[in-house]
Amino acid sequence: LRVNQEEVPESCNSIQDEEQDADISKHRQKIAENKDQMRTNVIQEIMNTERVYIKHLKDICEGYIRQCRKHTGMFTTAQLSTIFGNIEDIYKFQRKFLKDLEKQYNKEEPHLSEIGSCFLQHQEGFAIYSEYCNNHPSACIELSKLMKQGKYRHFFEACRLLQQMIDIAIDGFLLTPVQKICKYPLQLAELLKYTTQEH
């Protein structure tokens, strides 16, 4: 009795097919898990940077603007308007925006968070940034004039220390809204990359 070794029983073929299907299924599951993890990372970065940003805005409004208004002999209303622009409106808007983001944030499964809807819901609100960004060069000029005098340098540094702000000069703080509005499209593009069509 001769056995043809090239002939593989059908049962062996079906076992190999099942193993191959299982490998493909595992691979797909791993890709999906990686995508979920990447999406989680992007969402958490958006949430964390948003919370830090709110803290910066609060520090500017409470640490600088409030103190400047108390010192009427040092600043005119026009100067304060030039230096700070509409940053208080931005702070108010961002607080509402963060509140809505927190509502959409899924703490247990962050990758399932539907935060894109918040951006759509608030898209008109982001228009207030154009006024701030257009005013920013004038703010820098006004601030640099004041900073040539020691009393203003010391005043702004005292404000920073009193508010227990991080070690950044006032011009750095005033740049944050300009940087923030530029960062949103990058964050959303990154989020979209890891979002399924079904989401």
Within 10 Å of residue 68's Cβ, how many Cβ atoms? 18
Structural domain range at position 136: 10-193
Which H or E run contains 50? helix 10-58
Q: CA–CA separation, 113 vs 47, rounded Å? A: 11
- Whole-angstrom Cα distance, residue 96 to residue 99? 5
Residue 140 domain flag: yes
| Residue 2 belongs to some domain of the structure | no
Q: Note whether 132 and 177 are within 8 A (CB).
A: yes
pLDDT in tens, 129-168: 999 999 999 999 999 999 999 999 999 999 999 999 999 9
- What predicted TM-score, i.e. pTM, was given to this entire model? 0.82
- pLDDT one-digit tens code per residue, 84-123: 999 999 999 999 999 999 999 999 998 889 998 999 999 9
**Residue 147's domain is classified under what CATH number?**
1.20.900.10
CA dihedral in degrees (151, 156, 159, 163; nearest 10)? -160
CA angle 189, 194, 199 (to 5 degrees): 100
Does residue 5 lie within any of the structural domains?
A: no
**Structurally, how many domains does the chain consist of?**
1
